[in-house]
Amino acid sequence: MSTSERLIESTRELLWERGYVGTSPKAILERAEAGQGSMYHHFTGKPDLALAAIRRTAEEMRATAGALLDGPGTPYERIEAYLLRERDVLRGCPVGRLTMDPDVIADPALRAPVRETLDWLRDRIARLVEEGREQGQFAPSLDGAEIAATVVATVQGGYVLARAAGSPDAFDTAVRGLLTLLAAARPSAS
């Protein structure tokens, strides 16, 4: 792995663990096992490196979610696969956690990939719900945008509940509850 790749990967890990303020250039260099001038050789500074790391994390999240949401099965089964996928629940969402970082949210450039990723996810799920409605798999009364916002809020809120409880059980309970509601919105469930 090249030095710039090690710097990006180290920054991704540190942002997830410590947030932007807690991710010092020194910590990045130590984790990347890179020399003192390496960061400034490859990036203009910490904000530039953080942006590269956030973009990489966002791309990875979209690829992982997209593989499930665009995969085989009915719209319900694809949403279910997304909700039930393996996650490191107690670490939280590497993208969603950035919304709680005041320095990321205050910087439009750092915030942009976070917003774009969450918007992409809501849009993709909304289109799946609409597809399911058109195929008669979801009740006509379901609004794709509302269900998509609920799915994303359940996942992000599930991370918060699990971290607060110190157990993934709270996340799993939230996901099971949402899947029960979605299953009840299927015409065959009536």
70 vs 73: CA distance, rounded Å: 9
Model pLDDT for residues 60-87, shown as the tens digit of each residue: 999 999 999 999 999 999 999 999 999 9
Residues 6+ apart with CB under 8 A from 134: none
Q: What's the pLDDT at 77?
A: 97
CATH class of 55-189: mainly alpha
Model pLDDT for residues 99-108, shown as the tens digit of each residue: 999 999 999 9
56 vs 70: CA distance, rounded Å: 20
Q: How much is the pTM? A: 0.91
Token readout for 57 is 């994390």
Q: What's the pLDDT at 101?
A: 93
Task: Print the SS3 string covering 123-148.
Answer: HHHHHHHHHHHHCCCCCCCCCHHHHH
63 vs 85: CA distance, rounded Å: 13
Q: What's the pLDDT at 190?
A: 45
Find tokens 């029960």 and name the residue.
180
Find tokens 């694809």 and name the residue.
78
* Count helices and strands in the chain by DSSP H and E runs: 9, 0
